[in-house]
Amino acid sequence: MTTTRLAGHALVEALIAQGIDTAFGVPGESYLAVLDGFHEHRDRIRFIACRHEGGASFMAEAQGKLAGWPGVCLVTRGPGASNAAIGLHTAFQDSTPMLLLVGQVAGDQRDREAFQELDYRQVFGPGTLGMAKWVAEVQHADRVPEYVARAFHTAMQGRPGPVVLVLPEDMLTTPTAAAVLPRALPAQAWPAPGALRDLRALLAQARRPLAIVGGSGWTAESARALQRFAEAWQLPMGCGFRFQDTFDNRHPLYAGDVGIGINPKLAARVRDADLILAIGVRLGEMTTAGYSHLAVPRPAQRLVHLHAGAEELGRVYAADLLLQCALSCAGQALATLEPPPGTLPWQDWAAAAHADYEANQIAPAVAPLDMAEVVKCVQRLAPPDTVYTNGAGNFSAWLHRYTRYAGLQHHGRTQLAPTSGAMGYGVPAAVAASLLYPERTVVNVAGDGDFLMTGQELATARAHGAGTRGGRLISIVVDNGTYGTIRMHQEREYPGRVSGSELPANPDFAALARAYGWHAARVATTDAFEPAFAAALAADGPTLIHLKLDPDISTPRTTLGALRAAALKARAGS
């Protein structure tokens, strides 16, 4: 017999039953009964109070990415929910399981545009281009466990994603004796035997195959089996945009990341392939270079698309073969395919793909601060299971190009980065990772624009002891005094006409970090970086390293000056 308690308490118990021990949020008077439930069960679950709902929702999204289990975010009505939208959108585009709980006005006030009232079904409306897989308002206290269990199933099954549960204030204060439901175990799709046979036949006919892997829902076991499949078939393996940690970047079959800033040789290889195996990835705009490397709807290459979501298959691409398969068992399904006896005809092609990747790791030296050397130094000194986080901006191009992510079978996800391209993601994601895995080191690389969108979460890190329990928490801010990515686009499209992309009044980031109780250092040369990073790894507590970068250095491949000159020349010639 379950004793009667407030629905707000029952909600917290239902979260605990789903295996949740940490939730992120900003409190609101709309869900006091839930906060009281957190107090009641504080020995089993903690509420991490953040400084902005954008930070809280990013933290919950990062929790979902890391754990493969929905991260939970709690926010208040209209203003709180509006602030939280960015994390929800990121979870949607990145296929991350997540649960957003939103306080709502009492039922007897509904539809009057009461204080902070919003209709969340309309705001976050589900559908392929919505922000959530499911949005529901829980009307009856007795049904709280039912809604929570369904929310977890919906967030995890098929293509994972975010779910929103809306909680009217009066419902939360209603007593209920409803028992919580057991932990949701997501159903797993496995491809039909005939589809696997067809895949084997397509592979056997191929001469230049290339796999692009990624997506959310992998397990270590499945990732290990994926590697066995790759080895058995000697397949060159690319990783989709910001799913770079799916396949071991140190493996001789690794071909590089298929995203923004792709190695031009890999881009050519994607175009020249006669068979693309898209495994787990959505084949979004960034992975396909604006749907150009793979033409829509019918690519020039033969295409096999394996994805967890039935709705995703055939949505954008008319593939030659579609396989619906949960990524938790995709590796095992693929590993059942026996390669033909003898040497596979594409071994040279696979070796060349990896050689291209290795050659792309070599960079011309840049002075006084060489970002390639910074990223390589981080990886040389940081522990192998370090989690790397970033938001959006050109600074991330160095991280993506020079970091060798370990592969999911080794340390789970080690790359927390928004495929949604959301600025501000990296700091909260790092804080969340550090709080969830206190023994692991977490390194965030942020742009100056990117950092200041959510930098206030440095306070959340400090309040909860992030980076003080074995693992280190380090944020590296790349300060070039511009919204550099936008400046890059401007120089290409409107050369010399700088508008809205300058950041002339940046703070002293090191002083700012110190004000939050972080250690801090300022670095302007390559040589000064290593001692600063070593000190951060040895420090007791989190550290911010403020890098001063020449704004002209736009990406690992070009400068603003070169972009402007090329654009002006093209204009003069046209």
Rule CB under 6 A: which residues touch ligand TPP? 392-395, 421-424, 447-450, 478, 480, 482-486
- Assigned token pair, 509: 């980031």
Phi-psi region at 181: left, alpha or beta (left = phi > 0; alpha = psi -120 to 50)? beta
Min CB(73)–ligand TPP separation in Å: 17
Min CB(450)–ligand TPP separation in Å: 3
Nearer to ligand TPP, 157 or 482 (CB): 482
Q: Kindly report the three-state secondary structure assignment for every residue of 475-528.
A: EEEEECCECHHHHHHHHHHCCCCCCCCECCCCCCHHHHHHHCCCEEEEECCHHH
What are residue 99's DSSP bridge partners? 72, 163
Nearer to ligand TPP, 217 or 391 (CB): 391
Nearer to ligand TPP, 135 or 399 (CB): 399
Burial class of residue 540 in the structure, from the number of CB atoms within 10 Å of its CB (0-12 exposed, 13-18 middle, 19+ buried): exposed
| 3-class state of residue 7 by DSSP | helix
Cβ neighbours, 10 Å, residue 221: 14
Nearer to ligand TPP, 253 or 423 (CB): 423
Nearer to ligand TPP, 63 or 396 (CB): 396
DSSP string, 252-293: TTEEEEESTT--HHHHHHHHH-SEEEEES----TTTTTTTTT
Residue nearest to ligand TPP (CB): 447
Min CB(308)–ligand TPP separation in Å: 26
Min CB(202)–ligand TPP separation in Å: 37
Min CB(392)–ligand TPP separation in Å: 4
Min CB(78)–ligand TPP separation in Å: 20
Distance CA 432, CA 420 (A): 18
Nearer to ligand TPP, 441 or 480 (CB): 480
Min CB(305)–ligand TPP separation in Å: 27
Nearer to ligand TPP, 323 or 417 (CB): 417
Min CB(500)–ligand TPP separation in Å: 9
Pick from 519, 509, 459: nearest CA to 481? 509
Min CB(2)–ligand TPP separation in Å: 43
Pick from 126, 224, 143: nearest CA to 179? 143
Q: Kindly report the three-state secondary structure assignment for every residue of 93-133.
A: HCCCCEEEEEEECCHHHCCCCCCCCCCHHHHCCCCCCCCCC
Nearer to ligand TPP, 415 or 482 (CB): 482
Nearer to ligand TPP, 58 or 247 (CB): 58
Nearer to ligand TPP, 382 or 399 (CB): 399
- Assigned token pair, 224: 């290990």
Min CB(453)–ligand TPP separation in Å: 6
Min CB(166)–ligand TPP separation in Å: 25
Torsion sign, CA atoms 173, 178, 182, 185: negative
Distance CA 318, CA 324 (A): 15
Pick from 167, 174, 199: nearest CA to 74? 167
Where would I find the H helices in 524-559? Answer: 526-538
Cβ neighbours, 10 Å, residue 97: 30
